[in-house]
Structure 1
Amino acid sequence: MEYVQIKSIEDPLFAKLHKTMQEVFPPEEVLEYSLWEEPLKDPTIRVFLAVHEDEVVGVTEYRYNKELNVAMTDFTIITKEGLGVGPFLAKKRHEDLMNLAEEHDLDLIGMFAEIYDPYRAADHSFGGIKVMDPFVRREVLSHLGYQRLDFPYVHPAWTNEGEAVKELDLCFLPYKENIHSLKASFVRDFITTYYGVLSNKPPEWQSMIDNLNKQTDILLKPL
């Protein structure tokens, strides 16, 4: 299996990648095709495919924030079972991040990820791909070591129409020992930077940010 980076929307594999995203994720989670042009040029944003016998069987996007010394898994898609695509992507993603950390003098403290709460988001079929089921995905993140940040989380829809995307938890995978909570200001700074590209924020988003401003620490809880 090959780990193949996508750096341009002109790459023939990008069209297939974007179509796969549209088939798997709800519309509010998918950035419009042409708007990928600039993010793919950003060296801190990493988009890779798992290619098996010339077939795309998995996708992952992730990034790092040098100022905050933290990473984020944007999404992972597995389209074919029985090949070990999930472990392959997790291993390659971690290796790539550790290489980048060494190259850019980063001391990454951990990685954020968003995950649907299957008890609130049971209607998401994720294109009928069984391994993308919300219950399965949540258990996978738990096994990888992710924990849930204990606060009500929403994010602005990637359609930039001002819709609040709910039914999600923001999670964190510590790379350091004895991390049981994160500073609320740190969480706030990360998500405001992460969603800074979207100009149309819903009222629920601003309310969440206001609440984070009033808190000191956010506990990490089991998924």
Structure 2
Amino acid sequence: MDYHRITNIADPYFRQMHELMQTVFPPEEVLAYDLWAEPLQDPGIRVFVAILDGQVVGATEYRYYADMQVAMTDFTIIGRDGLGIGPFLARRRMADLRQVAAEAGGKLKGMFAEIYNPALSEGLEFGGVKSMNAYVRREVLAHLGYLKLDLDYVHPSWQIDGEAVHGLDLCFMPIDDADADAVPASLVATFLETYYAVLTEKPDAWYRMVKGLRERDSVRLLPI
């Protein structure tokens, strides 16, 4: 498999990736095709696809925030079962992030990720790919070291309609301190404000959640 970075909407592999996203994710989780043009040119947003025999069989998007020294995994897609796509993407992503952090003169303290709550997403088929099942993904991410933030989580819809999206947990994988059982609430709030700054329409529930974080000292990390 090849690990190929997409930096332009004109990349022939981008359409394949976008179609794969539409297959495995619900509409409110997928940014419209044309709206990808600007983000893909942002050097801080790293979009890679796994290519096998000329076909996109997996994809991942992530970014590193040098000021916070944390990363965010936007999504990971496994397009086919039984090819080792998940481990391939995880290894290459981590190696790339460590290099990016080093080049920025910092380190990688940890990584955020939104993870589907199986109890709230049982109706989602994820394109029929068993590896994308919410229970399977949750166990895989737990093995990688992700923990759930003790937080009633909601996020704005990527359809930019101001709707609140439920059914996911915000998780964090400590790297700098692998035994950490909490993270500063200010870090979580700052991260969310930065990450979702691109969305002009946000629900009141999201603002209340961030305000609540600003009033806390820390957020516990719980098993997922």
Q: TM-score, normalised by structure 1?
A: 0.98
Correspondence for 1:192: 193
Matched, 1:16 2:16: yes
- Secondary structure of the equivalent of 2:151? coil
Matches within 5 A, 1:2-81: 2-81=2-81
Code of the residue aligned with 1:215 in structure 2: it is: R
Alpha-carbon separation, structure 1, partners of 2:98 and 2:206? 32
Alpha-carbon separation, structure 2, partners of 1:144 and 1:137? 11
Correspondence for 1:113: 113
User: Deviation of residue 127 (structure 1)?
Assistant: 1.3
Code of the residue aligned with 2:102 in structure 1: it is: E
- Secondary structure of the equivalent of 1:148? strand
Matches within 5 A, 1:48-197: 48-177=48-177, 178-197=179-198
- Secondary structure of the equivalent of 1:37? helix
Alpha-carbon separation, structure 2, partners of 1:60 and 1:213? 30
Alpha-carbon separation, structure 2, partners of 1:35 and 1:55? 23
CA deviation map 1:167-223 (0-9, x unaligned):
111000111123221111110000110000001111111111121122110000111
Alpha-carbon separation, structure 1, partners of 2:78 and 2:152? 28
Alpha-carbon separation, structure 2, partners of 1:99 and 1:128? 34
CA deviation map 1:82-105 (0-9, x unaligned):
111100000000000011111111
User: Deviation of residue 12 (structure 1)?
Assistant: 0.9
Code of the residue aligned with 1:65 in structure 2: it is: Y
- Secondary structure of the equivalent of 2:123? coil
Code of the residue aligned with 1:57 in structure 2: it is: V
Q: TM-score, normalised by structure 2?
A: 0.97
CA deviation map 1:123-143 (0-9, x unaligned):
111111111111011111001
Q: Is the 8 A contact 2:98 2:107 kept in 1?
A: no
Aligned structure 1 segments of 4 or more residues deviating by more than 2 angstroms: none
Correspondence for 2:213: 212
Code of the residue aligned with 1:109 in structure 2: it is: K
Code of the residue aligned with 1:41 in structure 2: it is: Q
Code of the residue aligned with 1:214 in structure 2: it is: E
Alpha-carbon separation, structure 2, partners of 1:94 and 1:73? 10
CA deviation map 1:135-178 (0-9, x unaligned):
01111100100000101000000001011011111000111123
Alpha-carbon separation, structure 1, partners of 2:126 and 2:81? 14
Size of the alignment, in residue pairs? 223
- Secondary structure of the equivalent of 1:38? helix
Alpha-carbon separation, structure 2, partners of 1:30 and 1:181? 30
Root mean square deviation, CA, Å? 0.9
User: Deviation of residue 109 (structure 1)?
Assistant: 0.6
